[in-house]
């Protein structure tokens, strides 16, 4: 105790300290413990970095490719969507899209870049993957604000049309999508048929969320409507938002799609359907090939003699020229065509503020887009991808409607009686 008191009051000459001095022993012991602690901490940190790195690499490899890495056979929950978005933002895909230079000329020879126009080649993505992400996200986000101040659920994943007598006023946020659906039952022969057959069986191939299907059942209160889609998330939304409240609407998941690449069949009997409807479904995007022929043949199988196939979409103008002779070869009779291209261009211009607001709302729903540097880059890439798919003004797919490379058509064909 005296030694301790002395050491606290005056400086001790190191030459007086002996090997067995407790102060020297304590210092050596403390240094040894510190070395062990730092060595152990370094090992733990190294293991943590390796684990996080391996986990991040695995996550990015598994979930980062939104364009082609997801499956149509599941609905992605909110947590899964956050993991996928984070993996996408941290993946090499962002840089690959930013520096993309393999832009291909379109049908009229024009080329577009990705960072400005959102151009992406057909072979760069699969519809299974992008729509698995879109439909799951629409469902998870819930209601969103609109320019009119009305909150709404984004359910019409359609470009839509304007300049038609039945367009609703601006208070309806998704009026252009509704107008496109209604246009498919506005053909003269279809209206005459419905007047004589007020309780038709209607089928939709590629129904998406089921919003259009539900709307048609409101326009035609005597109909029974079966809506098919290959996306599990879309059918989940169709059932949750619409079918459970609408006894005349049935939503069915068809893995691989009706007809489609897997040649899937619907659950309906031969010659049992009055009208088959397709609205802006992901087929015939470049040509009328084996997949489209399989879809058409399945439609004809379902249709009653005298039944109708009504089809609307914005597609390469050359594809529309291919489609009509193919339908004739399959024994279908033309019963009307409307070129709504100018109305579709106007619809996208009228809808610009709503889409801008929704895409901003969607991007902000993912916290990873707020991360410095990485988030800003990811947000811009995501904005370009989504808005190009929406044919938003300033994007490649919008410009192609303006130039005439693509046309928005409504076609009517009838099975021979």
d(CA 79, CA 381): 21
State whether residue 273 is helix, strand or coil.
Answer: strand
Q: For the residues 327-335, what does the mean pLDDT come to? A: 96
Q: Are strands 152-153 and 143-144 parallel, antiparallel or unpaired?
A: antiparallel
Look-up of token digits 């056979």 = 73
183, 212 contact by CB (below 8 A): no
Residue, of 54 and 225, whose pLDDT is higher: 225
Angle subtended by helix axes 127-141 and 352-364, to nearest 10: 90
User: Lowest-pLDDT range, 19-23, 204-208, 404-408?
Assistant: 19-23
Taking 80 as the threshold, does the pLDDT of residue 335 lie above it? yes
Residue, of 82 and 33, whose pLDDT is higher: 82
State whether residue 309 is helix, strand or coil.
Answer: strand
Looking at residue 336, the DSSP 8-state letter turns out to be: E
| CB neighbours of residue 369 within 10 Å | 21
103 falls in which pLDDT band (50, 70, 90)? confident
Q: For the residues 88-104, what does the mean pLDDT come to? A: 92
pLDDT for position 261: 59
Which span out of 53-67, 108-122, 130-144 was modeled with the highest average pLDDT?
130-144
pLDDT for position 317: 96
Positive or negative torsion for Cα 13, 19, 22, 26: positive
Q: For the residues 184-208, what does the mean pLDDT come to? A: 97
What is the DSSP annotation of 28-93?
HHHHHHHHHHHHHHHHHHHHHHHHHHHHHHHHHHHHS-TTTS--TTSPPPHHHHHHHHHHHHHSTH
pLDDT for position 121: 87
93 falls in which pLDDT band (50, 70, 90)? very high
Positive or negative torsion for Cα 124, 129, 134, 140: negative
44 falls in which pLDDT band (50, 70, 90)? very low
33 falls in which pLDDT band (50, 70, 90)? low
Q: For the residues 169-190, what does the mean pLDDT come to? A: 97
């Amino acid at each position: 105790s005296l030694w301790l008191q002395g050491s606290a009051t005056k400086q001790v000459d190191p030459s007086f300290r002996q090997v067995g001095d407790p102060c020297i022993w304590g210092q050596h012991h403390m240094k040894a413990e510190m070395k062990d602690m730092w060595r152990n901490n370094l090992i733990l940190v190294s293991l943590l970095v390796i684990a996080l790195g391996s986990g991040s690499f695995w996550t990015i490899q598994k979930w980062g490719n939104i364009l082609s890495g997801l499956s149509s056979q599941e609905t992605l929950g909110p947590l899964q969507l956050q993991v996928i978005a984070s993996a996408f933002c941290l993946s090499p895909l962002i840089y690959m899209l930013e520096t993309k230079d393999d832009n291909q000329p379109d049908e009229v020879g024009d080329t577009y870049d990705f960072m400005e126009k959102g151009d992406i080649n057909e072979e760069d993505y699969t519809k299974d993957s992008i729509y698995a992400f879109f439909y799951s996200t629409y469902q998870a986000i819930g209601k969103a604000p609109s320019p009119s101040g009305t909150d709404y659920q984004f359910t019409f994943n359609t470009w839509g049309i304007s300049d038609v007598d039945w367009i609703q006023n601006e208070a309806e946020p998704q009026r252009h999508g509704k107008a496109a659906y209604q246009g498919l039952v506005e053909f003269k022969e279809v209206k005459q048929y419905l007047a004589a057959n007020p309780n038709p069986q209607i089928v939709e191939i590629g129904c998406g969320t089921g919003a259009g299907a539900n709307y048609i059942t409101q326009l035609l209160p005597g109909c029974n409507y079966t809506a098919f889609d290959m996306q599990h998330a879309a059918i989940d939304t169709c059932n949750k938002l619409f079918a459970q409240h609408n006894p005349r609407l049935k939503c069915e998941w068809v893995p691989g799609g009706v007809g489609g690449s897997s040649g899937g069949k619907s659950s309906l009997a031969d010659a049992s359907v009055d009208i088959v409807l397709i609205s802006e479904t992901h087929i015939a995007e470049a040509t009328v090939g084996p997949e489209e022929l399989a879809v058409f043949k399945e439609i004809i199988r379902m249709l009653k003699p005298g039944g109708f196939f009504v089809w609307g979409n914005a597609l390469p103008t050359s594809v529309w020229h291919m489609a009509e002779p193919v339908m004739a070869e399959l024994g279908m009779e033309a019963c009307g065509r409307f070129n709504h291209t100018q109305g579709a261009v106007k619809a996208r211009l009228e809808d610009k503020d709503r889409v801008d607001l929704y895409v901003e709302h969607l991007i902000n729903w993912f916290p990873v887009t707020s991360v410095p540097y990485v988030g800003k880059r990811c947000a811009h890439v995501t904005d370009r991808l989504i808005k190009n798919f929406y044919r938003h003004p300033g994007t490649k797919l919008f410009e192609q409607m303006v130039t005439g490379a693509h046309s928005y058509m409504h076609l009517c064909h009838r099975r021979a009686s």
